[in-house]
Amino acid sequence: MDITVPDIGHFVDVPVIEVHVAAGDVVAAEDPLITLESDKATLDVPASAAGTVSEVAIRVGDRVSAGDLILRLDAAPAAGVSAAGVSAAAPVRERVTEDAAPAPVEPPGYGSPSGIYEVIEVTVPDIGHFVDVPVIEVQVAAGDVVASEDPLITLESDKATLDIPAPVAGTITTVRVAVGDHVSAGHVIADLRTGETVVPEPAAPEPAVPEPAALVQPRPTAPAAARQRSAPGDVAAEVLVLGAGPGGYTAAFRAADLGKKVVLVDRWPALGGVCLNVGCIPSKALLHAARVIAETKEMSEHGIVFGAPAIELGKLRAWKDGVVGRLTGGLAGLARQRKVTTIRGYGRFSSPHQLQVELADGGVTTVDFEQAIIAAGSEPLTLPFIPSSDPRVLDSTGALELGGVPERLLILGGGIIGLEMATVYHELGARVTIAELMDQLIPGADKDLISPLAKRVTRQYENIYLKTKVTNVEARPEGLVVSFDGPKAPATDTFDRMLVAVGRSPNGKAIGAENAGVTVNDRGYIPVDKQLRTSAAHIFAIGDIIGQPMLAHKAMHEGKVAAEVAAGKNSFFDARVIPSVAYTDPEVAWAGVTENEARAAGVTYGKGVFPWAASGRSLTLGRSEGLTKVLFDEVTGRAIGCGIVGPNAGDLIAEAALAIEMGADAADIGLTIHPHPTLSETVALAAEAFEGTITDLYLPRR
């Protein structure tokens, strides 16, 4: 019997994050076979019948859609028995988790020195295209104490049941739904009073009184030793910040500005984290160098001819490192001015109020803290079939070290990081091949934004393989022999170097969070509420470690909110949009709702599009392939999304983000006088195109 992926709604090419069975396992009907992960939920796919697994057709990292073969199953000798020899488990469940809870309906009050108590409305999170889903079980009642991620209600769609969890620990004050009700995203489930239940400790040891089996602790229980106050630390802080990337140093500086005594712990030799040291900043320096090389070639068609560039990698590397050093040195000065204590080393929580730091120069120190902000970031993902220890296999950090330019470079992953590095190494002289699992570069972005980029790099790069898997990599003396599985890819090919750019993994499981009572989910993310509080009310988390998008500018805003809440301010993270930018050539940028998302959500929208072929400024740059589009809600008329492709798109998207944040409509944007000739005026012209007032194009009346 063939077991295939059932109907999973509008989700396609969903990654497999866990395979629960192997050939020879005995499974019962409804036993989970694999786990998939979409943007907002994990989905267990169950066995449709009992039997013995004869062949597993997929593995972790594959992407699947409805109808794809999972495994083959032989009829069971005894139904109802799982691979472990026990009765079948509960029916398939889609575990939905929120990134953050909605803002409270009333100002928080200070219930204890260790945390803020508030009443929040718990709502149904984004559940994809599902609407009016029936409630089949209500698992709590008023007065119940729940932990973060405890299920509150169960919904049932056509093919799956979905548990809706508590976003934070607390006590249920009101249940707003009943069995039989139908709910959609945003529907209020219950009112929840956050914070822990304080149980007075007896003055002397007494016989333990067992708690009722149904009572759940309001936040994750730390090991007994961790619950006791540790020995005094070497350093004391009112606010400890773990991680000195853009989110971490922003949080530290803001807390210091608000009068807090701050200690900042980080493993890097200089402040700035991954972004400044081996990410955002060095990559942009090299991308600028690549753009200069490209422009010298492009101008040869217009009468200015340069010779082939003589590239001195040592000098280029030194310039890039100098840019990094200037910025990180500036951060060190800002920390000194604010009297922020910095400690270099690996920090791990040893108790709810103490961090142990393995110092970079040897030894150990401990930091006592009243409140903490976790900004520990993420690491590049690795794949088990790739020989990562081979120096010819690079991650983004290794690629930015610029140790040499290979003759042939394979980039695994056609996302933003992979394409930015492709831009650099192509201009430095490498023959670049890209292998991407999805059917377009930068999956998730609207196709019309990616098309100009795809056309340009298809002409430049040696190969671009879409819908292609890398199934094996063998390190040989002559090179890295790579096996492909894709419609246009060869069975094997040999490369001098390989860059693995398939995403990043959060560091939630590497910091001893459990010792501090901080919940970390199976993927390494730390759930937080709208004030960035974790399940431990005195500890906050920001940046990559709390979920997508993993962007420095998101982390910086979160850092300010966390610092302000720690200092007693009633701040919340409630940004309407978080812009994304690919610093490729041409650049691609978007903010707010994409067309893909609007269609999936059933949003009635209109759009104005302005092609850069009609932009005087674009033509003077010799680049006519770009476009600017703005999406508007047809009901309210307000801007809800924007996408731009072309030179400097990353700088231009800020105006659109502000327009969406401020609730601007097409007239607000179009009637704002923009300088001419500029690329920025394409945003106004796109708004005019939607409104029907544009004169730079002839558009028939709608």
The DSSP code sequence of 184-240 is -TT-EEEEEEESPPP-PPPSS-----PPPTT---SSPPPPHHHHSPPSP-SEEEEEE
Strands 497-500 and 393-394: parallel
Strands 354-359 and 341-351: antiparallel
Which pair of structure tokens corresponds to residue 246? 């853009």
Q: Which residue is associated with the tokens 């992953």?
A: 413
CA dist 79 and 50 (Å) reads: 5
CA dist 147 and 427 (Å) reads: 53
Q: Which residues of 423-451 are buried (b: 16+ CB within 10 A; e: fewer)?
A: bbbbbbebbbbbbbbbebbbbebbeebbe
Catalytic residue among 10, 129, 182, 676: 676
94 with 44: CB under 8 angstroms? yes
CB atoms within 10 A of CB 481: 14
Which pair of structure tokens corresponds to residue 379? 């690491």
CA dist 449 and 442 (Å) reads: 10
Which pair of structure tokens corresponds to residue 297? 């070639």
Chain-centroid distance of CA 661 in Å reads 21
CA dist 369 and 238 (Å) reads: 5
C-alpha distances in Å from residue 106, one per residue of 122, 192, 304, 531: 14, 12, 65, 14
Q: Where are the beta strands (DSSP E) in 49-88?
A: 51-56, 63-64, 69-75
C-alpha distances in Å from residue 220, one per residue of 23, 227, 354, 392, 606: 36, 11, 17, 43, 46
C-alpha distances in Å from residue 592, one per residue of 219, 531, 629, 689: 34, 21, 12, 19
Which pair of structure tokens corresponds to residue 508? 């939630």
Fill in the amino acid letter for 32: P
Which pair of structure tokens corresponds to residue 625? 């392939």
SS3 assignment for 246-288: HHHHHHHHHHHHCCCCEEEEECCCCCCHHHHHHCHHHHHHHHH
Crossing angle between the packed helical segments 280-298 and 416-427, to the nearest 10 degrees: 50
Return the half-sphere exposure (C-beta side, CA atoms, 13 A cut-off) of residue 608: 30
Specify whether 676 is catalytic.
Answer: yes
Report CA dihedral (183, 188, 191, 196) to the nearest 10 degrees. Answer: 80
CA dist 420 and 405 (Å) reads: 15
Going by C-alpha positions, the residue among 623, 626, 666 that lies closest to residue 646 is 626
DSSP state of 91: P
The DSSP code sequence of 579-629 is -EEE-SSS-EEEEE--HHHHHHHT--EEEEEEEGGG-HHHHHTT----EEE
Q: Which residues of 179-204 are buried (b: 16+ CB within 10 A; e: fewer)?
A: eebebebebebbbbbbbbeeeeeeee
Crossing angle between the packed helical segments 649-661 and 681-691, to the nearest 10 degrees: 50
Cis omega (within 30 of 0) on the bond before 675?
no
DSSP state of 548: S
Active site residues: 676
